[in-house]
Chain A
């Protein structure tokens, strides 16, 4: 099976999102000894290209244009179409991120292919590749194969481990000239909501607060706990709607889908739409004063009690153990 697989990297704030490297590992699973071709789109991105090679790509194609500085469906799909026409790949992989979700169905429709979205597992079985993906808000899983045409998939961040980085790997970086036609979508404004450095979807430890936090100020105690653990702070919809924190922190079906090693849910009831975004976490800790709260049904460890007593004590205890 030596298929050629394109991996579309995603650059944010001047660096690759980790899922780009995970997508390279996924591509290797699809095609163990085929050529893995990284693709990077943007305004000024060629300097980054080598990193995809260090993570396992054999060569990298860059498409640079000021029209690609911000994501638009037409800009990206024109660039990707040109790359697909040039390379004629047998597979395409990218992250199931806001951009991945938006552009991949458009490309799939354009090339008349199937698309497996939000894969959390990939295994090669002879000539076939079997994808695992959650359905019914994560209450069940399905295994999907591609019957016909290109093997095209988006992968959920933090589920398929990236390969070990090898700085000694080298490969070609080539630029592809694409004349991007006028865009129909004009971006008028972008409101970046304040977030700490850690990308929630890539964090390995998350401390999340719900409506039980009772106020914006009280989120400080979560931040203190998170700082000790090197964790990211997340939230439920309930906490966002109550304006205790920004929607950028929201975890769940409408928010970010996360798969950390450790998820600490504080004052969160465990509604299905929240659980859909975090149930794949390796270890779940629930802190809630209501012993009947649904969150305890999926928790590995739970403490029933008042979070305002528990969280500061927990922070102190972690401090002792982690120094």
Chain B
């Protein structure tokens, strides 16, 4: 099986967000593999261990993303590719789709796994977009995958309901929480990862022009939500607190 994982380097989930002049301040922030992409990597490794083949990690980003690729290699992926995205104007999900598709179009992938959503950008677009450009089927929000005879039987989460679908390969799937428990890289895994191949490409290598991948949308501002006033923690006898709460909801907040 020819298995690919698309992954994004994102802010650590617990990181406090700061914004200056409409830009997210990245200095000093911790970065991680997007949590949903960790499920994708784990599943890819399990599919390879069952069916044979190779797992290749692909990310579009800057050179800092090498760290997240090495982590994925330490988990057990075989190879990694970093596609550098500098010089692209207003990169958006279309840009990421176009760049990933340019790389993947001649790779004969059987399955491409990604995350359901990136915890920073949060659009959930890249997986289905990529599938469409490559002419692959796609299944989003998957919690179970079985592969046999060139077909994948997939359980997907649909707003809390489960749907079992069967699709023929090649397919792009996006991982939902519940798919598996991602392993931690082992020490030998980390040592081995240092020697695993990590290729760095730029747009030229993919025969892409900056104009081909310029975003179709543009972020004009980023801001923090207005600081919420400290909430009112009620005090006194419990019975009085309950009365007060109901009265506040009715008369002050006017929501009941």
Contacts and interface: CB of A to CB of B under 8 A. Distances in A.
Is A bound to B?
yes
Interface string A249-290: 110011110000110000000001100000000111110000
Nearest to B221: A143
Contacts of B14: 272
A83 to B, nearest CB: 17
A142 B161 contact: no
Given A106-B131, A139-B224, A317-B246, A272 B123 contact: no
B207 interface: no
A276 to B, nearest CB: 8
Contacts of A1: none
A74 to B, nearest CB: 8
A300 B231 contact: yes
Contact of B256 (A72, A284, A322): A322
6 contacts: A136-B11, A142-B221, A147-B217, A147-B218, A301-B249, A322-B256
Interface residues of B, number: 80
Given A110-B132, A114-B215, A147-B215, A188 B153 contact: yes
B75 to A, nearest CB: 21
B222 A141 contact: yes
Interface of A: 72-74, 77, 97-98, 101-106, 108-110, 112-118, 130, 133-149, 184-193, 195, 201, 205, 229, 237, 246-250, 253-256, 261-262, 272-273, 282-286, 291, 296-305, 309-310, 313-314, 317-318, 321-322
Contact of B17 (A97, A139, A237): A139
Interface in B228-256: 228, 231-234, 238-239, 241-243, 245-250, 253, 255-256
Contacts of B241: 303, 305, 310
Interface stretch (B51-59, B133-141, B193-201): B133-141
A187 B163 contact: yes
Contact of A190 (B93, B94, B162, B239): B162
A73 B222 CA distance: 32
B253 to A, nearest CB: 5
Nearest to A281: B255
B220 interface: yes
Given A106-B131, A283-B253, A184 B137 contact: yes
A114 B217 contact: yes
